[in-house]
Structure 1
């Protein structure tokens, strides 16, 4: 018996029970998204320019990003290589897992080491992100590797094709926008500047828009409550950050482009 299977058997009496728990975790994530969205109406996520000492001692930003994102990679790796992973041989499942891993390999093993400067992350934000990555890593990858059944020919279905294209578009926007933000500062600089180029010409939260589109596409291609819950959570949290950033830019820079929107080009 695989190592992860032994752990799962200690936690659940049957595969039916585990699938039921995965469904419940999805609905819980959507509820948490709504509660988080309500909280963010009154308080910004305490990181970066909104960092506050009241949320705990500071953690080096590179260390924080690396450690908090790592469970989103390690937990899924364990679920695939040290568990039975019954659906891993099916093409739709493989492609969706590839999308997931493409994001988190970059986010956990590459992105943290490219950060230039950056303010420390309060411990509370770091800890919450760490727990979420465990939660979501288990939810998404356990369902796709063990339970997700897709109709014959699903990879040629319009939902899968459209979702995959949206995922790729969002991933590219996210990577390109992160690169623009990194290059705003020269070594040793700490001041904020107006991001320009790419999707930043249209919205203040180009990096957030990219990630929202990415996981919305993933949800469309995966066609499950589990993937939808993640996309919904991402939208709630990152749209709030985009709006906060937009207001901050308008307040800080008198020459900030007035035609630029917060998150959705030409609309919002």
Structure 2
């Protein structure tokens, strides 16, 4: 049977399944290293998009366009892998559910979220390009591993790690969606400027949307128990925790009536 284009590309890149599996593991460990380097870099510089955007990082890309284009590879690359290759493992329930979690997030993030944005700051070109590269890299790593190579013990879907991880993913996904809804509706039509977000988890932390996404991928990592999912969760934690702390400090400096009991990321703690 003739190979489809995606299979031909992978066959040209890897001489065997063992080589590709080794590469996927290396990609996971590399992302851990990147997370460490990013952590150090973010001690000196905020992620340059949104309210922290700077012309030093290239010309501005309109916010809606940037979000749509940069998130789309995180959906299209995995979709091509699942539809264009023999996705042997997705017939197994743990793999299928984990792939579904991934797609559930990125269908919303790439096909829904960008079109709900109201206004929105432009994204510097350098940040935009890095986001595109990351979404391609991570999308391939997560879904190729789950659809082709991940093996779970019998009855894994009833294991506490999978049950707790899946529950965390779902709660984080809901918190992320609800927090984004609150942020979108802070201003009435025609209004400009920043306002204090209120309601939901924002009553406890400044970075409610970030806490939701961190929780999502932490749950995904617990349910998946792989270096691929764990490295993604770690990288997400590093980037979004830094973002939450920066937002918290910004809110405190801008609004005299900002709730003093509200924390940056972890309710009642931090």
Instruction: Tell me the secondary structure at the aligned position of residue 251 of structure 2.
Output: helix
Separation in 2, partners of 1:136, 1:190: 35
The residue number in structure 1 matching 2:173 is 171
Give the counterpart of 2:21 among 10, 19, 22: 19
Separation in 1, partners of 2:187, 2:39: 31
The runs of 5 or more residues in structure 2 that have no matched partner are none
The residue number in structure 2 matching 1:116 is 118
The residue number in structure 2 matching 1:244 is 246
Separation in 1, partners of 2:20, 2:189: 49
Q: CA deviation at 1:2?
A: 2.6
Separation in 2, partners of 1:81, 1:254: 53
Alignment of 1:221 onto 2:259: no
Alignment of 1:64 onto 2:66: yes
What is the aligned residue count?
A: 268
Give the counterpart of 1:196 among 195, 198, 201: 198
Separation in 2, partners of 1:232, 1:72: 18
Moved over 6 A (4+): none
The residue number in structure 2 matching 1:83 is 85
Separation in 2, partners of 1:179, 1:88: 32
Instruction: Tell whether the 8 Å contact from 1:170 to 1:212 is kept in structure 2 after alignment.
Output: yes
Give the counterpart of 1:128 among 107, 127, 130: 130
Give the counterpart of 2:189 among 170, 187, 192: 187
The residue number in structure 2 matching 1:259 is 261
Separation in 2, partners of 1:230, 1:190: 35
Instruction: Tell me the secondary structure at the aligned position of residue 21 of structure 1.
Output: helix
Give the counterpart of 1:45 among 47, 51, 72: 47
Separation in 2, partners of 1:168, 1:189: 33
The residue number in structure 1 matching 2:9 is 7
The runs of 5 or more residues in structure 1 that have no matched partner are none
Separation in 2, partners of 1:81, 1:49: 39
Separation in 2, partners of 1:168, 1:119: 29
Separation in 1, partners of 2:227, 2:190: 45
The residue number in structure 1 matching 2:36 is 34
Q: CA deviation at 1:88?
A: 1.4
